[in-house]
Structure 1
Amino acid sequence: MRTFGYARVSTSQQSLDIQIKALEEAGAQAHRIFTDKSTGSNTEREGLQLLRLKIEKGDLILVKKLDRLGRDTLDMVQLVKEFDGIGVAIRFLDDGISTEGAMGKMVVTILAAVAQAERQRILERTNEGRLEAKANNIRFGRKRSVDREKVIGLYKAGVGATQIARQTNVGRSTVYKLLSETSTSL
């Protein structure tokens, strides 16, 4: 039996160090730890794909936490079934569960469903907050950095969009967008 490790963070700014250290302490050798810096909402991640190619019947995959393998219940269940079909077990270190045995598979399925439900609740709360902020006239996005009056003034003076874009350090599409937004007043 060979021991592999899998670690994932959602963004490139996050560090994998804590997960990798835990996987090594649990018995995964550094050259058998596969990592991804991407969302867990799909299973087409490079590190996960490489892990799939390397594993064989009887191997064990260590993952620090359940949500590091995936966020979506369906994806998690499919991954557990896929690995189980090959004869590979998954052990989640922090959660203290494993797919070794029927009870382990059931627990993983339930926990994946709970994790997905929590994620859905977070999204609902975030959307509610956005709607409330909009109702209170809070604007989203970055502040405009384009001098609209300069763009319009140059256009009225007969300067072309390409030249306006160069002079104002914006893209031509931005110039066209500003002109179309103010076309009713021109």
Structure 2
Amino acid sequence: MKTILYARVSTSDQTAAHQLTQAQAAGFSIDDVVTDEGVSGVSTRLAERPQGRRLFDMLRAGDTLVVRWVDRLGRDYLDVSDTIRDFMRRGVIVRTVINGMVFDGATKDPMLQAVRDSLIAFMAALSQAQAEALKEAQRAGIAHAKAQPDARQKYRGRKPSYERKQFEAVGEMLQLGAGLTEISRATGLSRATIWRMKEHPSSCESALAAWGL
């Protein structure tokens, strides 16, 4: 029986190495790492990703699939919930690094199954909601920057001390309920910067857009 970490890496997220470090710090002993790079979790189902297909071929009954959180599997409600249930039917145990969630087919009690399935549905829906909220903040920030008179010639303000991938990673972690100190350690940003992102996401997005970042 193997423990396999699946890492999805996009321009807005952590590296595979970071996700492996997080998993090991949480006590997981990882036998293999499967990574998809530059793949959208919103528009591309897990089974359609190059390494996602490999993952389905690799996992056997009794194996454990580890992901940082369910958003690594996807950002679409139906895709995420169907994927987790498919793995459970195969006898695969799905575990998350964040929150330490465990999904398997061990329980036969209908009430416990109902609770488990409700939790899967909630986490899958939350994953999609986070993606939609992040995109809305981006659209609002870009629209605000473009609406300014003489946007190309006006003073752009101080250049942001953060990159877009940091801004988006902070947004994801805030949605997951992470604290300022935890996010600061993970992203290398100051607590003050993270607080601004939390309280004024559109303004932070506008600053990135003004500088073409």
Q: CA RMSD in A?
A: 2.3
Matched, 1:62 2:66: yes
Structure with larger RCO (C-alpha < 8 A, sep 6+)? 2
Q: Which amino acid counterpart does residue 10 of structure 2 have in structure 1?
A: S
Matched, 1:78 2:82: yes
Larger radius of gyration: 1
Selected match of 2:92 from 78, 88, 96: 88
What's the CA shift string for 1:51-84, capped at 9, x where partnerless?
1101112221111222122122121012112212
Matched, 1:40 2:41: yes
Asked whether the 8 Å contact 2:74–2:127 carries over to 1, the reply is no
Structure 2, unaligned runs of 5 or more? 108-112, 153-213
Match of 1:26 in 2: 28
- Alpha carbons of structure 1 residues 73 and 128: separation in structure 2 relative to 1, 3 Å: same
**1:91-170, aligned counterparts within 5 Å?**
91-100=95-104, 101=107, 102=113, 103-137=115-149, 138=151
Post-superposition offset of 1:6: 0.9
Q: Which amino acid counterpart does residue 123 of structure 2 have in structure 1?
A: L
- Alpha carbons of structure 1 residues 82 and 60: separation in structure 2 relative to 1, 3 Å: same
TM-score relative to the length of structure 2: 0.57
Worse overlay, 48-57 or 103-112: 103-112
SS of the residue corresponding to residue 18 of structure 2 reads helix
Q: Which amino acid counterpart does residue 86 of structure 1 have in structure 2?
A: R
Moved over 6 A (4+): none
What's the CA shift string for 1:3-54, capped at 9, x where partnerless?
222112113995211212334540221xx22111122221222222111101
Query: How many positions carry a matched residue from both structures?
Result: 137
What is the rounded CA distance, in whole Å, between the counterparts of 2:66 and 2:117 in structure 1? 15
- Alpha carbons of structure 1 residues 117 and 34: separation in structure 2 relative to 1, 3 Å: same
Structure 1, unaligned runs of 5 or more? 140-186
